[in-house]
Amino acid sequence: DQQVKQNSPSLSVQEGRISILNCDYTNSMFDYFLWYKKYPAEGPTFLISISSIKDKNEDGRFTVFLNKSAKHLSLHIVPSQPGDSAVYFCAATAGGNTPLVFGKGTRLSVIA
Amino acid sequence: GAVVSQHPSRVICKSGTSVKIECRSLDFQATTMFWYRQFPKKSLMLMATSNEGSKATYEQGVEKDKFLINHASLTLSTLTVTSAHPEDSSFYICSARGNSSPLHFGNGTRLTVT
């Protein structure tokens, strides 16, 4: 049973436009959510996170929105740049030192 | 910021041999490290939780005698794939977290068993 779901395996966006990556979760114990970016043959790189006490967190071009009632979060990248092309993983944890649970990732392609 | 170093980045070994992968937290102490495996076109799957000074906790379906984990110090955890087989070929990634930082990942190890 997948606790973290990224239903879009891929997304293609034009440079300068907004990229919206979606993530749904089922475990109501999750209280901290993260987005990681991954290039081929490299480990994931932390991008941005949000605690369950917030509904929005912004860092430069990246904004994460959390809708707890819908158990849904999204990552907005604006404006999108070709260098943003990568696989983006949504992850969640129930806090403390519990491990992260990852979605399957969404491959973002930003076209110049 | 916190950095996790993983070595080697790539390794090719013959079937039946063992391979050791090291994971180090460079500027923070990690009492717990996590080992993940990524299959092609799939998510990162947690293999085991490595605890400093005690036995690792393995996820269901992961053979603890095949994937030996040693967390010898607060900055080093190792994963040894014993008697490797071609089906063990994969991308292995370690991760660690300091007191208040998000989980940081190593760059992964691409293991190819021939």
User: pLDDT tens digits, residue range A44-96?
Assistant: 888 999 999 999 999 999 999 999 999 999 999 999 999 999 999 999 988 76
Location of structure tokens 């239903």: A7
CA B39 remoteness from chain centre: 14
pLDDT under 70: residue ranges of chain B: 1-2, 41, 98-101
**Site from A1, A33, A34, A42 to mutate, B interface, most B CB atoms within 10 angstroms:** A42
Residue A97 has pLDDT above 70, yes or no: no
- Which H or E run includes A62? strand A62-67
Does A104 contact B97 at a Cβ distance shorter than 8 Å?
A: no
Q: What percent of chain A has pLDDT over 70?
A: 96
Question: Which residues does A92 contact at the CB level (< 8 Å), separation at least 6?
Answer: A3, A4, A25, A27, A30, A32, A33, A34, A100, A101
Per-residue pLDDT, A40:
81
